[in-house]
Amino acid sequence: MRYAKPHLPYDQQVRLLSSRGLYVGREGDAVRALKRIGYYRLSAYTYPMRAFTTDDAGTVHRSDDFVGGACLSDAVALHDFDHRLRRTLLPAIQSLEIALRTKVGYHLGKHGPLAHLDRSGLDPQRCNAVSRGPDHAGTKYDTWRSEYDSLQRKADREDYVVHFVTKYDGDVPVWAATEFMTMGCLIGLYRMMQPKDARRIAEEVGVKNPQVLFGWLKALNVLRNHCAHNARIWNRSTVYPPDKINRRMVEQELHHLVSADTNKVYFLTAVLAYLLRHVDPDSRFASDLRTTMGKFPSVLGWTPKSTMGFVDGWLTEALWSIH
């Protein structure tokens, strides 16, 4: 079926929202909001305000009509809060990413400067596992190496890459190569490290099982990309939700997550704060997040607990009281 909805001028977009029960306030203010944000982008923040309905097949879904009390200004407030949340999360995840680059380069480099290009310094079982998915063929290492080679080609004008390529037969040592790896590529390399090396890195960040750390990093990488591309964060379900917290695997500061919803953003913010405690003790992330959450808008009775998975009394937890 071809998309056939017509383009609407801003004033008609306002009237359409109003006809569906959204209080838009003054038309001029509403038009300015739509010009700044865009109808489609703003719909991600008006969507939770739409009423539920049941179709003839008994399936429950959102209707086009809004619940009573739904306001355009509230959707704008949620959008602006989400923007602030992304600005809080992204630098923190980037700090973790830099620390991971350092640790992977350091520990893998002990096996040789080109250990990332030599499977003998990695875990053979993980390297030789069969890649899954229609876009992948061969082993996990083959898939990773293909991505790595592509990233090196894209970085071929970086001064440090030019230096190594021209002087050392085209190969870049692992402690320098981590600089042009994406976080996803870096996590993939961590996943293939020898168990003792992966465990050592995990222990350095307060985690006793490298598989647990890998699960966290995988989910945080998706969150990082959502933040970097200005996607909705505040009520998004987690992609690749990690396993529930096992108290034996982490320190006391994360024990309050035992009953937390791993599909909600609070779980990942707490994990991020915990990891930063170990890699960047001077990080202001905990303080910054408290400030950001203090700006959570009052909309239809929603709370950080009901929409984002924040646990009761989270502000009193030691994890958030450090700085």
| Residues 128, 273 within the same domain | no
Q: What is the pLDDT of residues 19-56, one digit of tens each?
A: 999 999 999 999 999 999 999 999 999 999 999 988 87
pLDDT at 252: 94
| Residues 141, 101 within the same domain | no
| Residues 148, 297 within the same domain | no
Distance, in Å, from the CA atom of 256 to the CA atom of 314, rounded to the nearest integer, reads 9
Residue 305 and residue 311 in contact, taking contact as beta carbons nearer than 8 Å:
yes
Q: Is 320 contained in some domain?
A: yes
Q: Is 29 contained in some domain?
A: yes
| Residues 138, 181 within the same domain | yes
pLDDT at 137: 67
pLDDT at 68: 94
| Residues 244, 99 within the same domain | yes
**65: containing domain:** 10-70
pLDDT at 96: 98
| Residues 92, 128 within the same domain | no
Q: Is 75 contained in some domain?
A: no
- Which strand (E) or helix (H) includes residue 50? strand 50-54
DSSP string, 247-297: GGGS-GGGGGGTTS-TTSHHHHHHHHHHHHHHH-TT--HHHHHHHHHTT--
| Residues 284, 260 within the same domain | yes
Q: Is 201 contained in some domain?
A: no
Last-in-domain residue among 159, 193, 227: 193
Distance, in Å, from the CA atom of 293 to the CA atom of 291, rounded to the nearest integer, reads 6
pLDDT at 216: 98
| Residues 121, 169 within the same domain | yes
pLDDT at 134: 62
Q: What is the pLDDT of residues 97-118, one digit of tens each?
A: 999 999 999 999 999 999 999 9
Quote the pTM value: 0.94
| Residues 226, 263 within the same domain | yes
| Residues 117, 173 within the same domain | yes
Last-in-domain residue among 131, 158, 193: 193
Q: How many domains does the structure of the chain reveal?
A: 3
| Residues 107, 117 within the same domain | no
Q: Is 172 contained in some domain?
A: yes
| Residues 225, 293 within the same domain | yes
**Intervals of the chain under pLDDT 50:** none
Q: Is 158 contained in some domain?
A: yes
Q: Is 185 contained in some domain?
A: yes
Q: Is 41 contained in some domain?
A: yes
Distance, in Å, from the CA atom of 73 to the CA atom of 78, rounded to the nearest integer, reads 9
